[in-house]
Structure 1
Amino acid sequence: MKKLLILVIFLLLPIQVLAKDIKNPQVVSEMRVNIVENGSVELNGTIYNLELNLSIPQENDYQKIEYFDVRDSLGPCVTEFCSYDFVNDRYGNRLLNIKWKNPVGNVIYTVNSTLLIKRRGDIEKKTLKEFIEPTELVQSADPEIVELASEARGNDFDKVSYLAKWIGENIEYDKVYSDVNLSAKEILKVRKGVCKEFSNLLVSFLRDLGYYSAVAVGYVHPGRVYETYEFQPHGWAEIYADKGIVADPVWSEVGYLDATHVKFATFPDSSWTFTEVNANGIGNIKIRLSENDVKLKILDFKEEPFINVNTSLLSNSIWANYTVLRTDLKADGCFLTKIEYKGCIDQSGKDFLQIVEPQNIVYFCNEKTVFTIFRIPLLDERKNYRCDIKAFPYAGEESGVQLVLNPKGYGYSQLSVEKNVVKPGEKFLVTARQSQIFTDYGEYAYEKAEFTAPNYDFKVYGYNSGYLAQKNISVVLEKPIEVNLDVNETASAGKTIPVKVRVLNLGDKSQEISVIFRKETVSETLTDFKDFVFNFTPQDANDNLIQVFVNTPDFSTSVSKTITVIGQKSTWENIFQPIIDFFNWLFSLFQ
């Protein structure tokens, strides 16, 4: 007698399913689903024992099995000839272990379960060595992966969200890659993929940063991504930080997973598979394992948007150039989500407004303000226009406003930002007279404000009745020099005032610097600090921007300030103004 051990492996396959009118899966907070797995094992030869290890839905704090039944063609597997139990693989995944004694011919199995799933938040930590080491697909030690991962700053949530946002903005979702398994390096080369690629790349970044992390696999309601209402095989990431974090870079979900995510297993990367069969017997044994057909049917679900949304326009009535939509988000906790926008539609159904700064993928804790800039096309000045602009946050409800376009002209905004290079958390001054001020990370003010720099490069805008001014600001972890500017708040046209500049050396060694103001350049060796004084004579009221550039061989920065310049009075104004002032004083005595 001889024994034969056969291992057969296959992947989850697409399935057909009733989706029961879920239009936005991101707001599904609870779902009850029936899952039926069918398959068969075709046998030839004399077989004494047959075992099938089958991947099934996992149980955890957010996913509970309410009903479970296993049977073959003869009925429930609770007999001497067909029985079942549960086993765990080395990654902690619970598998269904079905055993047959003396099976003959074609063995058919059916696993029927009912699952209650709730929206996921924090998850249990797993610190297996396989979840921190590189693999053939998760190439966390690759230099390009290391360089990109190093851009992530802040706390655990900030780093995960930054990298998930980067993937969502730089990797194109393309179903052509559904049947391949690309490595992280290959993904960065083609900049395309599906959920496997998105998850492998995110896990690669995170393992380089020292996070235990894994690829979770199962099914998900496709929603906006697949443009279908059939459940699809899906993968996402689990990050085992101090607080376990879930992240789906395809769905733009970090800090939560909607309840349509049905988890079957967790693996080191997306190459791992789900089912194995073992057999022993005598003679020439042949075994053929069929595809495991999985069907999901939604029994009921609850929809609960958890991000509150409010939209408004910075200017409700404008004529040309730009309009800016303000979207205020509020939620209890820290989340990454995505916002879709629908601008005005023309008669042909095309977007009437062009989005300049979409700000689609955002992450925040508790509250966030997002500014979206739309460019207005050339319009017929003889007509008035009205149209609706709407924001669709994935995890919130739709919110919209009405834009009015009419020929009232437009304003002007002179924007001044104190520094063009700052460190994370550094405060800086912004001014824009008679203008609204906002940033691409959510700050807002009118005319003048002191803001705090975020962790990454950002943009500052000045906005006045359709006119938009912009400044790009760099964020660096260390600055070799610091530049301070001292100048009067006001000046008179034609009269000279001093512009005082102090440059401080923040490094350990002396540095060669060049200080530039207008057409004047001064070069010095900087050891501790140096003071510079320039003369400035404003020509008129519009000549009011003071800007000084300072360069070292490896670093460039600038400081600026907008002052008030009082224009020169004409000769007649100088003669008659005292007379006018006298009569105004005289009249005031009789009031």
Structure 2
Amino acid sequence: MKKLLILTIFLLLPIQVSATEITNPQIVSEMKVNIVESGFIELNGTIYNLELNLSIPQTNKYQTLDYFDVKDSFGPCRTKFCSYRFIYDKYGNRLLNIKWKDPVGKVNYTVNSTLSIKRRGEIDKKLLEEFREPTDLVQSADPEIVELASKARGNDFEKISYLAKWIGENVEYDRIYSDVNLSAKDILKVRKGVCKEFSNLLVSFLRDLGYYSAVAVGYVHPGRIYETYEFQPHGWAEIYADKGIVADPVWSEVGYLDATHVKFATFPDSSWKFSEVNADGIGNIKIKLSDNDVKLKILDLKEEPVIDVTTNLLSNNIWANYTVLKTDLKADRCLLTKIEYKSCVDGRGKDFLEIIEPQNIVYFCNEKSVFTIFKIPVLDERKNYKCDIKAFPYAGKESIVQLVLNPKGYGYAQLSVEKTVLKPGEKFLVSARDSQIFTDYGEYGYEEAEFTAPNYDFKVYGYNSGYLAQKNISVVLEKPIEVYLDVNETAFEGKPISVKVKVSNLIDESQEITVIFRKDSISEILTDSKDFVFNFTPMSVNDNLIQVFVSTPDFSTSVSKIITVVAQKNAWENIFQPIIDFFNWLFSLFQ
């Protein structure tokens, strides 16, 4: 008696399926879908028993089975010649096992199922050793993978989101790679791929950090990714931390998964078996297994945004330079999402405004503000300009604001940040006279504000009527020195004041430091703490930025403060000003 085994490996290639058109799949909260899997097995020789194991949609608290039926060439598969049952593989995936007795010629099969799917949140954990170890595709021990993964900071959600955001910003989605399976190392070389590559790379990062994590495979509505409105094979990641967390770095979804994701299995990486066939008989047995054809059709759906979105301009009284759009996001959970922006177009059909450093992929808990900077082109003062700016949040509804450009708009932005090197969670002061203040991680204030440093390097901006000032801030886990600035809030034009700087040594050994203020520079060996005093004479009312730079051989930082400089009055002004003030007071009594 001979036995024969044939495997079909499914590499997530596009399969022709049908679907009801959805404008934004990422706000689909519930979906009922019909799934039909079909194929055939061609047989030669005398076969006693034929057995097919087939991947099918999984069932869990988010994905429930409403209807299930199996048929072969002769009808329902519930006879002594055809039967089926459910089995599980070593990863806990439920498979369909179909058995035929004494089959002849060609055996057809059709599996018809109807599922109700809900938007996923926290998922069940699968703590299998295979989901923590490297594979040929998930190379979690590779030095470059280890180095990049080490940059993730914060809690589980923040680390996962940081890495998913990094992939979304540094790996280009390219369908040319649909029919290959690149390893994590290869992905970092080419910086391109599809869902397989995105998921394998994210899982590689996470396993290096010690997380149990797996690649989930199935189908999804393409949304903004594919140039089609039909379901496509897809892969995403599941992470089993204190809580089970879903992450789709292609769709920019972490902390939730829209209901168009139809899950078929979880595996250590993106290469998986869709079907396998076993047979036993006598003589020269030959078996040919066809591809498993999968068709999905939406029967019903419900749309509900995950986030509430509002947008407004920081200022509409501008004419040149920059406009800033503030997008406020609110949700009932921690999540990562993506926002796309679109400017109005000019007469040539090109974007009228240029986006500067867009913050497209963002993650937050409960609420966040996103600031997007647009560059205004050179304008004709004889014309009036109005421009609609649209925000397209993946997990919310489109929002539109209108920019009106006013030739009378004028402003000036001067920005001072207390320190330019901070530790995560450290508080710092920012000042920008007559200006709005914001950061690229969502903080906002006016004129003066106290913010808290995030886990990563960031930027602070001062904005006033189209004019923009910017400071780059570094975030480090440890600092070798701490610098404090002490200077009067007010000075007089042409009169000297003292600028006091205190530098404290934060390490156990002495170190060389250099302190620079304007044209003065002092270098010394610092053991404990030391005070430095500089003389400063403001030459005009605008000469009001006090900034001191301090460095060691391996570290540099600065501290700054904006003071008020009072203009000196001449002798006649000092004589007549009290008289003028008196008469102004007297006249006000008769008004």
TM-score (norm 1): 0.98
Structure 1 residue 547: deviation in Å?
0.6
Matched, 1:9 2:26: no
**Equivalences for residues 201-350 of structure 1 within 5 A:** 201-350=201-350
**Equivalences for residues 474-513 of structure 1 within 5 A:** 474-513=474-513
Structure 1 residue 578: deviation in Å?
4.2
Matched, 1:50 2:50: yes
Secondary structure of the residue that 1:516 maps to in structure 2? strand
Moved more, 571-580 or 26-35: 571-580
Q: Identify the residue that residue 146 of structure 1 maps to in structure 2.
A: 146
**Equivalences for residues 126-141 of structure 1 within 5 A:** 126-141=126-141
Letter in 1 for 2:166: W
For residues 588 and 76 of structure 2, the distance between their equivalents in structure 1, rounded to whole angstroms, comes to: 104
For residues 526 and 295 of structure 1, the distance between their equivalents in structure 2, rounded to whole angstroms, comes to: 72
Q: Identify the residue that residue 76 of structure 2 maps to in structure 1.
A: 76
**Equivalences for residues 441-480 of structure 1 within 5 A:** 441-480=441-480
Letter in 2 for 1:227: E
Secondary structure of the residue that 1:224 maps to in structure 2? coil
Give per-residue Cα distances to partners, 1:424-454, cap 9 Å, x unaligned: 0101110000011110011111100011101
Secondary structure of the residue that 2:328 maps to in structure 1? strand
Cα distance, 1:490–1:283 mapped onto 2, change above 3 Å: same
Secondary structure of the residue that 1:275 maps to in structure 2? strand
Moved more, 533-542 or 14-23: 14-23
Q: Identify the residue that residue 542 of structure 1 maps to in structure 2.
A: 542
For residues 585 and 363 of structure 2, the distance between their equivalents in structure 1, rounded to whole angstroms, comes to: 60
Structure 1 residue 464: deviation in Å?
0.6
Matched, 1:572 2:572: yes
For residues 244 and 109 of structure 1, the distance between their equivalents in structure 2, rounded to whole angstroms, comes to: 35
Q: Identify the residue that residue 105 of structure 1 maps to in structure 2.
A: 105
Secondary structure of the residue that 2:164 maps to in structure 1? helix
Matched, 1:421 2:421: yes
Q: Identify the residue that residue 396 of structure 1 maps to in structure 2.
A: 396
Structure 1 residue 523: deviation in Å?
1.2
Do the aligned residues in 1 keep the contact of 2:46 with 2:283 (CA within 8 Å)?
yes
Matched, 1:358 2:358: yes
Give per-residue Cα distances to partners, 1:449-505, cap 9 Å, x unaligned: 011101110000000110111110000011010000000000001111111111011
Give per-residue Cα distances to partners, 1:51-98, cap 9 Å, x unaligned: 100000000110011100011001111111100001100000000000
Matched, 1:526 2:526: yes
Structure 1 residue 301: deviation in Å?
0.6
For residues 447 and 97 of structure 1, the distance between their equivalents in structure 2, rounded to whole angstroms, comes to: 69
Letter in 2 for 1:9: T
Letter in 2 for 1:4: K
Q: Identify the residue that residue 436 of structure 2 maps to in structure 1.
A: 436
For residues 582 and 221 of structure 2, the distance between their equivalents in structure 1, rounded to whole angstroms, comes to: 80
For residues 341 and 428 of structure 1, the distance between their equivalents in structure 2, rounded to whole angstroms, comes to: 31
Do the aligned residues in 2 keep the contact of 1:16 with 1:296 (CA within 8 Å)?
no
Cα distance, 1:164–1:584 mapped onto 2, change above 3 Å: same
Letter in 2 for 1:265: A
Q: Identify the residue that residue 32 of structure 2 maps to in structure 1.
A: 32
For residues 231 and 499 of structure 2, the distance between their equivalents in structure 1, rounded to whole angstroms, comes to: 66
Do the aligned residues in 2 keep the contact of 1:500 with 1:534 (CA within 8 Å)?
yes
For residues 262 and 579 of structure 2, the distance between their equivalents in structure 1, rounded to whole angstroms, comes to: 85
For residues 148 and 5 of structure 1, the distance between their equivalents in structure 2, rounded to whole angstroms, comes to: 45
Letter in 2 for 1:132: R
Letter in 2 for 1:112: N
Q: Identify the residue that residue 195 of structure 1 maps to in structure 2.
A: 195
For residues 587 and 397 of structure 1, the distance between their equivalents in structure 2, rounded to whole angstroms, comes to: 57
For residues 246 and 409 of structure 1, the distance between their equivalents in structure 2, rounded to whole angstroms, comes to: 47
Structure 2 portions without partners, runs of 5+: none
Structure 1 portions without partners, runs of 5+: none
Secondary structure of the residue that 2:6 maps to in structure 1? coil
For residues 49 and 337 of structure 1, the distance between their equivalents in structure 2, rounded to whole angstroms, comes to: 50
For residues 17 and 6 of structure 2, the distance between their equivalents in structure 1, rounded to whole angstroms, comes to: 30
Cα distance, 1:281–1:411 mapped onto 2, change above 3 Å: same
Do the aligned residues in 1 keep the contact of 2:13 with 2:178 (CA within 8 Å)?
no
Structure 1 residue 19: deviation in Å?
1.8
Structure 1 residue 406: deviation in Å?
2.3
For residues 478 and 35 of structure 2, the distance between their equivalents in structure 1, rounded to whole angstroms, comes to: 55
For residues 466 and 581 of structure 2, the distance between their equivalents in structure 1, rounded to whole angstroms, comes to: 39
Moved more, 5-14 or 288-297: 5-14
Give per-residue Cα distances to partners, 1:283-342, cap 9 Å, x unaligned: 111111011111111111111112101000001231111000000000101010111111
Q: Identify the residue that residue 179 of structure 1 maps to in structure 2.
A: 179
Do the aligned residues in 2 keep the contact of 1:47 with 1:280 (CA within 8 Å)?
yes
Moved more, 404-413 or 433-442: 404-413
Letter in 2 for 1:295: K
Do the aligned residues in 1 keep the contact of 2:327 with 2:370 (CA within 8 Å)?
yes
For residues 403 and 576 of structure 2, the distance between their equivalents in structure 1, rounded to whole angstroms, comes to: 48
Give per-residue Cα distances to partners, 1:171-218, cap 9 Å, x unaligned: 000000000100001001100000000000000000001100000000
For residues 453 and 559 of structure 1, the distance between their equivalents in structure 2, rounded to whole angstroms, comes to: 15
Secondary structure of the residue that 1:318 maps to in structure 2? coil
For residues 13 and 545 of structure 1, the distance between their equivalents in structure 2, rounded to whole angstroms, comes to: 60
Cα distance, 1:589–1:46 mapped onto 2, change above 3 Å: closer
For residues 130 and 76 of structure 1, the distance between their equivalents in structure 2, rounded to whole angstroms, comes to: 37
Q: Identify the residue that residue 385 of structure 2 maps to in structure 1.
A: 385
For residues 45 and 13 of structure 1, the distance between their equivalents in structure 2, rounded to whole angstroms, comes to: 32
The runs of at least 4 consecutive aligned structure 1 residues that moved more than 3 Å come to 578-591
For residues 295 and 4 of structure 1, the distance between their equivalents in structure 2, rounded to whole angstroms, comes to: 32
Number of paired residues? 590
Do the aligned residues in 2 keep the contact of 1:413 with 1:468 (CA within 8 Å)?
yes
Do the aligned residues in 1 keep the contact of 2:84 with 2:98 (CA within 8 Å)?
yes
Do the aligned residues in 1 keep the contact of 2:35 with 2:296 (CA within 8 Å)?
yes
For residues 356 and 394 of structure 1, the distance between their equivalents in structure 2, rounded to whole angstroms, comes to: 20
**Equivalences for residues 365-380 of structure 1 within 5 A:** 365-380=365-380
For residues 175 and 136 of structure 1, the distance between their equivalents in structure 2, rounded to whole angstroms, comes to: 22
For residues 577 and 311 of structure 2, the distance between their equivalents in structure 1, rounded to whole angstroms, comes to: 49
For residues 581 and 52 of structure 1, the distance between their equivalents in structure 2, rounded to whole angstroms, comes to: 99
Structure 1 residue 584: deviation in Å?
5.8
Structure 1 residue 586: deviation in Å?
7.3
For residues 358 and 590 of structure 1, the distance between their equivalents in structure 2, rounded to whole angstroms, comes to: 56
**Equivalences for residues 404-419 of structure 1 within 5 A:** 404-419=404-419
Do the aligned residues in 1 keep the contact of 2:6 with 2:289 (CA within 8 Å)?
no
Structure 1 residue 581: deviation in Å?
4.7
Secondary structure of the residue that 1:148 maps to in structure 2? helix
Secondary structure of the residue that 1:449 maps to in structure 2? strand
Do the aligned residues in 1 keep the contact of 2:122 with 2:255 (CA within 8 Å)?
yes
Secondary structure of the residue that 2:58 maps to in structure 1? coil
Letter in 2 for 1:5: L
Q: Identify the residue that residue 514 of structure 2 maps to in structure 1.
A: 514
Do the aligned residues in 2 keep the contact of 1:383 with 1:406 (CA within 8 Å)?
no
For residues 74 and 588 of structure 1, the distance between their equivalents in structure 2, rounded to whole angstroms, comes to: 103
Structure 1 residue 585: deviation in Å?
7.1
Structure 1 residue 227: deviation in Å?
2.1
Moved more, 343-352 or 440-449: 343-352
For residues 387 and 240 of structure 1, the distance between their equivalents in structure 2, rounded to whole angstroms, comes to: 46
Structure 1 residue 510: deviation in Å?
1.1
Cα distance, 1:187–1:13 mapped onto 2, change above 3 Å: closer
Structure 1 residue 568: deviation in Å?
1.4
TM-score (norm 2): 0.98
Do the aligned residues in 2 keep the contact of 1:457 with 1:475 (CA within 8 Å)?
yes
For residues 31 and 587 of structure 1, the distance between their equivalents in structure 2, rounded to whole angstroms, comes to: 75
Structure 1 residue 7: deviation in Å?
2.8
